[in-house]
Amino acid sequence: SAVISQKPSRDICQRGTSLTIQCQVDSQVTMMFWYRQQPGQSLTLIATANQGSEATYESGFVIDKFPISRPNLTFSTLTVSNMSPEDSSIYLCSVVSGGGGAFFGQGTRLTVV
Amino acid sequence: GIQVEQSPPDLILQEGANSTLRCNFSDSVNNLQWFHQNPWGQLINLFYIPSGTKQNGRLSATTVATERYSLLYISSSQTTDSGVYFCAAENSGTYKYIFGTGTRLKVLA
pLDDT tens-digit readout, A77-89: 999 999 999 999 9
Q: Which residues in chain B have Cβ-Cβ distances shorter than 8 Å to A102?
A: 31, 33, 45, 88, 95, 97
Cis status of the peptide bond prior to A8, with omega within 30 of 0: yes
The helix or strand, by DSSP H or E, that contains position A65, with its residue range, turns out to be none
Residue A100 has pLDDT above 70, yes or no: no
Residue A53 has pLDDT above 90, yes or no: no
CB contact under 8 A, A101 and B48: yes
Output the pLDDT for position A24: 97
Output the pLDDT for position A80: 98
Measured between CA atoms, how close is B88 to chain A, in angstroms?
Answer: 9
Output the pLDDT for position A97: 79
Task: Give the residue on B whose Cα is nearest the Cα of A109.
Answer: B41
For residues B22 and B6, the answer to whether their CB atoms sit within 8 Å is yes
The span from the CA of B19 to the CA of A5, in Å, is: 33
For residues B105 and B17, the answer to whether their CB atoms sit within 8 Å is no
- State in Å, rounded, how far the first CA of chain B is from the last one: 41
Q: Which residues in chain B have Cβ-Cβ distances shorter than 8 Å to A99?
A: 48
The DSSP string of B10-49 is: EEEEETT--EEEEEEESS--SEEEEEEE-TT--EEEEEE-
Task: Give the nearest partner residue to B43 out of A92, A96, A99, using CB atoms.
Answer: A92
Task: Give the nearest partner residue to A103 out of B45, B99, B101, using CB atoms.
Answer: B45
CB contact under 8 A, B43 and A100: no
* pLDDT tens digits, B27-48: 998 899 999 999 888 899 999 9
The span from the CA of B41 to the CA of A90, in Å, is: 8
Output the pLDDT for position A2: 84
Q: What is the pLDDT along chain B (109 residues), one digit of tens a residue?
A: 889 999 999 999 999 999 999 999 999 988 999 999 998 888 999 999 999 999 999 999 999 999 999 999 999 999 999 999 999 999 888 889 999 999 999 999 9
Cis status of the peptide bond prior to B39, with omega within 30 of 0: no
Residue A1 has pLDDT above 80, yes or no: no
Output the pLDDT for position B92: 82
* pLDDT tens digits, A25-52: 999 998 899 999 999 999 999 999 988 8
SS3 readout for A5-39: EEECCEEEECCCCCEEEEEEECCCCCEEEEEEECC
pLDDT band at A99 (very low <50, low <70, confident <90, very high): confident
Residue A70 has pLDDT above 70, yes or no: yes
Which is more confident, A111 or B92? A111
